Amino acid sequence: MRTAVVTGASSGIGEACACLLARSGWDVFLVARRRDRLDKIAANTNAHIIELDITKATEEDFQQVKKCDLLVNCAGGAFGIDFVAESNADDWTKMYNVNVLGTLRMIQILLSRLVESQGCIINITSTAALSGYEGGSGYCAAKSAQRALTQSLRLEMKGKPVRITELLPGMVYTPEFSLNRLSGNADKANAIYKDVDRPLRAEDIAQIVSMVANLPSHVNVDELTVRPVAQRSQYALFRGDLNWKH
């Protein structure tokens, strides 16, 4: 049985990835802070729980992971939509810590096991890593740094039998992500998805993660950008009925 470690596994994309991998026969380790959420997911998947904040992860936290075939770095987040001139440096620090340093710590801890198993690392970044936008400077900066980390690691691991993939989702319907970013303002969070016909779901991203993870061991997908049909770019979002027939 192959072993997967999934961070951010208590909700959203991380939870969807963990559940799909578990259903597909993987031995899954759920990594997140919220024990109550992890307990419910583990009860439905027979997954293992590692309760922690990845920005403080240590080798000791992963002693029970004897081997690792797949690391999915989903833990992340955005905080605030302030313009650069008014932005909160503490929000920037939180975003950098979880998106970049959390990913760094997880890779450093598990990399030797991934190389030994000739496994795969999938870092979930964002299309925010591709260009800036108003009110997104802190999140774009953090995701750009995570993207740079991924690209550098891929080059540094030349000659090693390990696959390294960056997955860049566009608009994904993850209300909790938006609530956190907007300080719990439900009206503003809901407005993000208003009239968008079929934004991506966490389960869509999980399917792509599973697809990449299950490719032959010699096949590396360097990077994969995925958006809903309603979104053609960061600034080309159609709001309205797409008249789907299925």
User: Which one-letter amino acid corresponds to residue 222?
Assistant: D
- Residue 137 confidence class, pLDDT cut points 50, 70, 90: very high
Residue 181 has pLDDT above 90, yes or no: no
Q: Determine which one of 139, 173, 193, 235 is catalytic.
A: 139
Residue 176 has pLDDT above 90, yes or no: no
Architecture category of domain 3-226 in CATH: 3-Layer(aba) Sandwich (3.40)
Residue 129 has pLDDT above 90, yes or no: yes
Within 13 Å, how many C-alpha atoms sit on residue 91's CB side? 22
**193 has catalytic annotation:** no
DSSP three-state, residue 244: coil
**What mean pLDDT comes out for the span 11-37?**
97
Quick one: what percent of the chain has pLDDT higher than 90?
90
- Residue 246 confidence class, pLDDT cut points 50, 70, 90: confident
177 Cβ contact partners less than 8 Å away, ≥ 6 residues apart: 12, 77, 78
Task: Dump pLDDT digits (tens) for 189-236.
Answer: 888 999 999 999 999 999 999 999 999 999 999 999 999 999 999 889
**What mean pLDDT comes out for the span 73-79?**
94
Higher confidence at residue 52 or residue 178?
A: 52
Task: Dump pLDDT digits (tens) for 143-158.
Answer: 999 999 999 999 999 9
Residue 179 has pLDDT above 90, yes or no: no
**For the CA atoms of the chain, what is the radius of gyration?**
18
Mean of per-residue pLDDT scores for the chain: 96
Closest CA to 174 of 161, 190, 152: 190
